[in-house]
Amino acid sequence: MAKRVSIDNTVDNTAEDTTDNNADNASDATDTIILPVSKSIGARYLAASYFAGTLPTCPALTDCDDLRVIQRALLALFDMKETGKISGESIDIHASGTAFRFVTAIAASTPGTDCIITGTPRLCSRPMAPMLDVLRKAGAQIESLGENGTGPYRIHGSALKGGEFEIKGDVSSQFISALMLCAPTWENGMSLRFTTPLVSRPYAEMTAQVMRQFGIEVTLHDEGVEVKAGRYVAPARFKVEADWSAAGFFYEAAALSNAKIRIAALVSPSESLQGDAATAGFFEMAGVESTFDDNGATLSEGEEKPDRIEVDLTDNPDLAPAFAVACALSDCEFRFDGVRNLRLKECDRLAAIQTELRKLGYVITVTDDSIEWNGKRCDTTPEAIATYDDHRIAMAFAMAALRLGEIKIADPDVVNKSFEDFWNQLPKIGLHCQRNGNVIILKRVQK
């Protein structure tokens, strides 16, 4: 039976239409923020659906480039497997790190596949060795076509043996999630021991939760993860939530404007699968209060804002750009620890935050695993904010216009990676957006 997706992004396999219209009702308000679906949940849902054999009937997840790329790549693999046309196919992942990790592992775990997984030069240069080492020990045939073992990768898929392996826990959690998703298809499943503490644990927890909804037995603990060999079975209903990572930028907006902001379909932290639902708690420290109902969330000014915030972002490093800009422009000193992996994202995010906040007059100190502002100011530089091909840098600095009155953001199309409709949402919070070539000019206006 073909699947269909309802307004609240619930994938429904049932014969009757039991659509919940809550998100649709919430979106009727012209000032209500409409978020994309969760990229993280969506990617895991697509991977699980690939193994369940239901990928061709999944709804198109078109809210962002990353999900389009993952869905297109997995459909290409699925088609190769079903038609037998699998020799030498090249699959271009573009700039999607999630797709690069997931699709590489899935292709290696698909018997008979012969393909090349490639992407942008920056993407191909990003580290993959920890994940590839486990896959090769499991029996995968993966050939590096780049320098020093980097991508692109030529993959000859096979039936992998699985077994017991080790991996550092403080590398990308996407390596661990990719291995987890593939492990049920391996003959002996997988027992993966972490040799260092696991970072970004909520993402691995999310992976386990999605897999369980598809009937897979997974046990995640501090020392490692065990995945039993088994068969993926698509559930009758599966909900892809609104994206908490995207919501973080509107929490930032609330902190900088002290205005009420309504967000449709945002699931409360207690009910969400997303680790970045911790955003609500972090921004509560910065004076933003959240209230949730069946239709979403309302952000409003909370208690008096502190003079300094010190937090560990080991489990939520992607929050750093929005949180850093919000704190600095609110004259709240801060120190964030547990952020070393930000150097390995779409750009070196620690360096980007440091450089671009200096343009706004804030002198930031960065170490190997921390970023800090102790109140030191400098002369401002009247130039556009550089975005380094990084969607989160663009969105975080865009909100600075709420406090500064105006800001220019270069290469605004980078937001398409995760939030294609981002610029169209900003007038709802009092920002006028004007495109001038490859720069977007944001000005604060009275609502």
Per the DSSP assignment, residues forming a β-bridge with 11 are 5, 238
Q: DSSP code of 240?
A: -
Q: Closest by alpha carbon to 122, among 93, 143, 144?
A: 93
Interatomic CA distance for residues 226 and 314, integer angstroms: 23
Interatomic CA distance for residues 92 and 222, integer angstroms: 35
Decide if 142 contacts 185 (C-beta within 8 A): no
376 in the Ramachandran plot: left (φ > 0), alpha (ψ -120 to 50) or beta? beta
C-alpha distance from residue 296 to each of 27, 182, 240 (Å):
10, 34, 14
Interatomic CA distance for residues 412 and 402, integer angstroms: 17
C-alpha distance from residue 308 to each of 284, 332, 340, 353, 441 (Å):
13, 5, 21, 18, 30
Per the DSSP assignment, residues forming a β-bridge with 297 are 263, 292
What torsion do the CA atoms of 213, 276, 314, 183 make, to the nearest 10 degrees? Answer: 20
Q: Which residues are catalytic?
A: 318
Strands 431-436 and 439-444: antiparallel
Cα atoms found within 13 Å of the Cα of residue 112, Cβ hemisphere only:
10
Instruction: Give, in degrees to the nearest 5, the angle at Cα 251 between 310 and 378.
Output: 55
Q: DSSP code of 302?
A: -
What 3-state class would DSSP assign to 249? helix
- Both tokens of 96, joined, read 């999607």
Interatomic CA distance for residues 69 and 247, integer angstroms: 22
